[in-house]
């Protein structure tokens, strides 16, 4: 969250619409993309698949299963690192992201690695793909917690998945929302209600314009959302902080990670006919 906080913004918790969220987050990711890739690019790996700040990879967790020969969509693909990993493992992956600048980084990595991820600029709530196009849809901290109309986003995933298809996504672990977003001691004391879904909002001090938004859903909210769209939950992976991992990413740190989960990876399947 506050990983990228410039000095001229103030933080609030207040309701925001889908269009406000999108108007804020697209330009925010455009502004932040260069710094994000410079700071985290080596950790992510140009053709690497990392599920979260704990550093667990798809090679370790095997959340997607064998992707060879499958049609795969990554929603909130950023510079396409995960989708590039899928390509190197025989999958036909495609990227989708709201941020033009993130997609420019994806093109740069396509050229540098020689593995291209065809990508489109679009939003998670209106996927520009035909019904039943993909065997797998996934997000690694991409898009879902930035979307207000999450019902539309999950409905879109359910629509583009083929029968029996898999939806896997990582988000900030819902229990983290009780704590200040601080990697140090202050981040260990619960200060706000787990059940308060009021979005985290950054507002530009000078203009009063909303410049960044994140949305919170509880564990139960996610289960109900998936079920409502015919996606049956088959796993909930809560990766433990690795023994020798010492990297701080925003509010994620060894201090907190050894006590509380920082990432939740949901795995669900579309029904078979």
Ligand X SMILES: C[S@@+](CC[C@H](N)C(=O)[O-])C[C@H]1O[C@@H](n2cnc3c(N)ncnc32)[C@H](O)[C@@H]1O
Binders of ligand X in range 178-217 (CB under 6 A): none
140 touches ligand X by CB under 6 A: yes
Binders of ligand X in range 28-67 (CB under 6 A): 29, 44
Which residue is closest to ligand X by CB? 78
117 touches ligand X by CB under 6 A: no
239 touches ligand X by CB under 6 A: no
| Nearest to ligand X of 145, 253 (CB atom) | 145
| Nearest to ligand X of 29, 200 (CB atom) | 29
Binders of ligand X in range 78-107 (CB under 6 A): 78, 82, 97-99, 102
| Nearest to ligand X of 48, 257 (CB atom) | 48
| Nearest to ligand X of 164, 177 (CB atom) | 177
Q: Which of 141, 167, 200, 212 binds ligand X (CB under 6 A)?
A: 141
150 touches ligand X by CB under 6 A: no
76 touches ligand X by CB under 6 A: yes
Q: Which of 147, 203, 237, 265 binds ligand X (CB under 6 A)?
A: 147
Asked if residues 201 and 209 have their Cβ atoms less than 8 Å apart, the reply is no
Query: Where along the sequence are the contacts to ligand X (CB under 6 A)?
Result: 22, 25, 29, 44, 76, 78, 82, 97-99, 102, 123-124, 140-143, 146-147
């Amino acid at each position: 969250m506050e990983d990228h906080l410039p000095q001229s913004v103030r933080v609030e918790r207040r309701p925001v619409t889908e269009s406000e969220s999108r108007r804020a987050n697209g330009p925010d990711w455009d502004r932040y993309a260069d710094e994000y890739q410079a700071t985290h690019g080596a950790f992510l790996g140009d053709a690497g698949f990392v599920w979260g700040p704990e550093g667990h990879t798809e090679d370790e967790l095997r959340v997607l299963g064998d992707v060879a020969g499958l049609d795969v969509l990554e929603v909130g693909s950023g510079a396409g690192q995960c989708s590039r990993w899928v390509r190197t493992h025989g999958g036909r992956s495609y990227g989708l992201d709201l941020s033009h600048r993130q997609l420019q980084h994806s093109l740069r990595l396509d050229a540098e690695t020689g593995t291209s991820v065809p990508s489109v600029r679009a939003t998670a709530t209106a996927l520009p793909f035909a019904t039943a196009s993909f065997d797998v849809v996934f997000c690694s901290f991409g898009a879902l917690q930035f979307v207000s109309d999450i019902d539309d986003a999950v409905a879109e995933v359910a629509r583009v998945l083929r029968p029996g298809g898999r939806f896997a996504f990582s988000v900030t672990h819902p229990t983290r929302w009780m704590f200040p977003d601080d990697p140090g001691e202050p981040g260990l004391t619960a200060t706000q209600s787990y059940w308060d879904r009021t979005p985290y909002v950054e507002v530009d001090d000078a203009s009063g314009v909303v410049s960044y938004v994140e949305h919170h859903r509880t564990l139960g909210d996610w289960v109900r959302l998936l079920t409502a769209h015919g996606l049956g939950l088959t796993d909930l992976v809560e990766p433990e902080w690795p023994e020798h991992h010492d990297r701080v990413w925003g509010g994620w740190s060894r201090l907190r990670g050894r006590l509380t989960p920082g990432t939740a990876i949901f795995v669900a399947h579309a029904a078979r006919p």
